[in-house]
């Protein structure tokens, strides 16, 4: 049996009412009520306390929108949205999207980012991960349908699996194992795209799909097992850096600012962009290259140690972003070296705040 929840205008999250405090978003003054009255939309961000979701909330608040953040806090953190909790145009609702959501106020846009993104996290409860991508997405499509809102889905390059072609364009059907440890995520996201297509074509829901490639930056969790956070945290702690396989497999790393800009552009794109669009940085690197950059940047004395490749881990990964360049006038701007430097600075502070005994550099 499903639980249903109802959010009313002005409601604040259960048990997380933070006393009013002076706060802005990254130094910008946000006068919520008056700004919304002038130009704001009401925008739901599911997964809004996670890495990407919280930066998306940041961007939308700066643009003067009313933001309703829905998150079950499974991998998200309140500290990511702490600065927004006291704003009149921000509401946090602790809720799992596998349960239906009803809202008693107009909703204009829904960004559906709810879903753990790192293999370590999505494999912790694979059934729940699959439910999030199928039942959760269906609940958000129903919500969008009731409100006439546009829904943008955070899909993933994992729909291409371990690709046979490089770069991967949107027309590639992928090479995904349907019966492996990554399937709960990969197949869940593929099923979500199918659902979105059918709700769009047969139920008239206005939809957009972003196929996001590896994205990194501040607010990633230090312990979520993704390669960028793993390498930086290991280097800063002076530990050996663990490389899976021979390290010659490739990834293309996009800084979060570029990715958020792509998501917002896609949300505002014309109705012709109702097909999946790749968003990622086509600048491809081997995992060994990433490890060496991190060691150099942190000044760590870490050695590289090699361990087995996890099952079904992709060997190559590079987005073909021709579609995003043409239809969204978008391409990433932040070079890997600059994004890494900002991410290293973030983790250095994060580890010090956590009381890590030694932080290199």
Ligand X SMILES: NC(=O)c1ccc[n+]([C@@H]2O[C@H](COP(=O)([O-])OP(=O)(O)OC[C@H]3O[C@@H](n4cnc5c(N)ncnc54)[C@H](O)[C@@H]3O)[C@@H](O)[C@H]2O)c1
Does 113 bind ligand X (CB under 6 A)? Our answer is yes
Give yes or no for residue 44 binding ligand X (CB under 6 A): no
**193 is an interface residue for ligand X by CB under 6 A:** no
Any idea what the Cα angle at residue 308 is, between residues 245 and 225, rounded to 5°? 90
Distance CA 93, CA 193 (A): 25
Which region among 16-24, 115-123, 201-209, 292-300 touches ligand X (by CB under 6 A)?
Answer: 115-123
Nearer of residues 87 and 101 to ligand X, judged by Cβ: 101
78 counts as binding ligand X under rule CB under 6 A: no
**Binding status of residue 117 toward ligand X by CB under 6 A:** yes
Member of 35, 42, 72, 343 binding ligand X (CB under 6 A) = 72
Q: What are the distances in angstroms from CA 228 to CA 17, 60, 156, 184, 214?
A: 33, 26, 17, 23, 9
Q: Which of 35, 68, 90, 96 binds ligand X (CB under 6 A)?
A: 96
Inter-CA distances, 80 with 69, 83, 302, Å: 12, 8, 29
Nearer to ligand X, 99 or 175 (CB): 99
Q: Catalytic residue, from 84, 111, 122, 185: name it.
A: 185
Q: Is 209 in the site for ligand X (CB under 6 A)?
A: no
Considering the complex, state which of residue 112 and residue 302 has its C-beta at the smaller distance from ligand X: 112
185 is catalytic: yes
Residue by residue, DSSP assigns 191-256 as: HHHHHHHHHHHHH--EEEEEEE--EE-TT--TTS--HHHHHHHHHHTTPPEEEETTS--EEE-EEH
Does the footprint of ligand X cover residue 161 (CB under 6 A)? no
Contact 97, 114 (CB under 8 A): yes
| Of the candidate residues 13, 60, 64, 71, the single one contacting ligand X (CB under 6 A) | 71
For ligand X (CB under 6 A), the number of binding residues is 29
For ligand X, give the closer residue by CB, 149 or 360.
Answer: 149
| Binding status of residue 51 toward ligand X by CB under 6 A | yes
| Full strand arrangement of the beta sheet holding 150-156 | 90-94, 66-71, 42-46, 109-112, 150-156, 206-212, 276-279
Phi, psi of 229 (to 5 degrees): -65, -40
Cα angle for residues 318, 158, 154 (degrees, 5° grid): 100
Stretch that binds ligand X, among 139-147, 207-215, 288-296, 314-322 (CB under 6 A): 207-215
Six-digit token string for 258:
């570029």
Contacting positions for ligand X (CB under 6 A): 46-47, 49-53, 71-76, 96-98, 113-117, 121, 132, 136, 154, 156, 212, 214-215
Residue numbers annotated as active site:
185
């Amino acid at each position: 049996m499903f639980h249903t929840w109802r959010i009313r205008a002005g409601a604040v999250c259960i048990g997380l009412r933070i006393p009013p405090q002076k706060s802005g978003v990254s130094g910008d003054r946000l006068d919520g009520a008056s700004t919304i009255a002038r130009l704001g939309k009401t925008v739901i961000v599911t997964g809004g306390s996670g890495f990407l979701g919280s930066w998306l909330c940041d961007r939308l608040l700066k643009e003067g929108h009313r933001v309703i953040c829905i998150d079950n806090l499974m991998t998200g953190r309140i500290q990511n949205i702490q600065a927004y909790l006291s704003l009149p145009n921000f509401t946090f609702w602790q809720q799992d999207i596998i349960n239906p959501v009803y809202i008693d106020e107009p909703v204009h846009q829904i960004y559906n980012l709810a879903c753990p993104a790192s293999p370590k996290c999505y494999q912790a409860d694979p059934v729940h991960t699959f439910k999030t991508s199928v039942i959760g997405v269906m609940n958000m499509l129903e919500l969008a349908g009731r409100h006439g809102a546009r829904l943008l889905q955070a899909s993933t390059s994992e729909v291409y699996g371990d690709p046979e072609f490089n770069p991967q364009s949107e027309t590639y059907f992928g090479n995904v194992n349907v019966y492996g440890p990554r399937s709960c995520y990969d197949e869940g996201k593929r099923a979500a795209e199918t659902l979105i297509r059918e709700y769009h074509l047969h139920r008239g829901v206005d939809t957009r799909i972003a196929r996001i490639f590896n994205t990194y930056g501040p607010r990633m969790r230090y312990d979520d097992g993704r390669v960028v956070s793993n390498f930086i945290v290991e280097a800063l702690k002076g530990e050996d850096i663990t490389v899976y396989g021979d390290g010659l497999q490739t990834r293309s790393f996009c800084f979060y600012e570029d990715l958020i800009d792509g998501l917002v552009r896609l949300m505002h794109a014309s109705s012709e962009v109702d097909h999946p669009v790749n968003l990622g940085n086509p600048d491809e690197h081997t995992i060994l290259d990433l490890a060496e950059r991190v060691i150099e940047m942190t000044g760590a004395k870490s050695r590289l140690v090699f361990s087995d490749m996890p099952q079904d881990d992709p060997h190559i990964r590079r987005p073909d972003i021709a579609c995003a360049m043409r239809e969204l006038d978008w391409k990433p701007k932040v070079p890997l070296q600059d994004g890494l430097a900002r991410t290293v600075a973030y983790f250095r502070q994060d580890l010090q705040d956590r009381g890590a005994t030694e932080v290199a550099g």
